[in-house]
Amino acid sequence: MTWHLRRSKRELVAQASPADISVMMRVENLRSPSATVGGIVYFGRMLDKIRLHAAGKLPSEYQENLGDGFDEVCCKFLWVEYPAVVKRTLAGGSDEEILEWAMQEGRRPDEQEIKVWNGFMSKRGWRDEVSERLLTRKRDGGWSDREDIQTFFDFIDLDEGRDPASRR
């Protein structure tokens, strides 16, 4: 099955089986937003998206937000510019080496700042200014009845075929 536009997902959900829905947005080599690099959530996922985009393997649904949304917030947390992260990532190196570069170019958050960052990011969509957007995304995805999907990390994992409960 080929899925092209996220906004058409509502129509696709009406026609798809539960098995089809669970693999709609599964992207090989794109990790969960809750996966950590150097103890920091989301950073590795941003690198995955950069690499997949460069290889022509990132679905179009993801391309429209490259450098925005969580990517932008992650870069601001580290005080680095997204285009510089793209350039450094495509130059090669491990995730840890790229994170070290980012911390040298921008800033090195301490253990407490990382704990606050991880808590903030992992709870986006839960009782905050983007809660309505999460509800809309759940409705558009056909998951309005999923009480267990309370954050964007939960939604992303479900949307990409991972069990959000597995990280709790």
Residue 105 · residue 132 · CB < 8 Å: no
The predicted pLDDT at position 17 comes to 45
H or E element, residue 36: strand 36-37
Q: Do the beta carbons of residue 25 and residue 47 sit within 8 Å?
A: no
Q: 153, 122 in Cβ contact below 8 A? A: yes
pLDDT at 26: 76
Helix (H) or strand (E) holding 41: strand 40-41
pLDDT at 163: 83
User: What local confidence, expressed as pLDDT, does residue 25 receive?
Assistant: 62
Residues in the chain with pLDDT values less than 70: 1-25, 167-168
Q: Which pLDDT tens digit goes with each residue over 102-149?
A: 999 999 999 999 999 999 999 999 999 999 999 999 999 899 999 999
Q: What is the pLDDT of residue 115?
A: 98
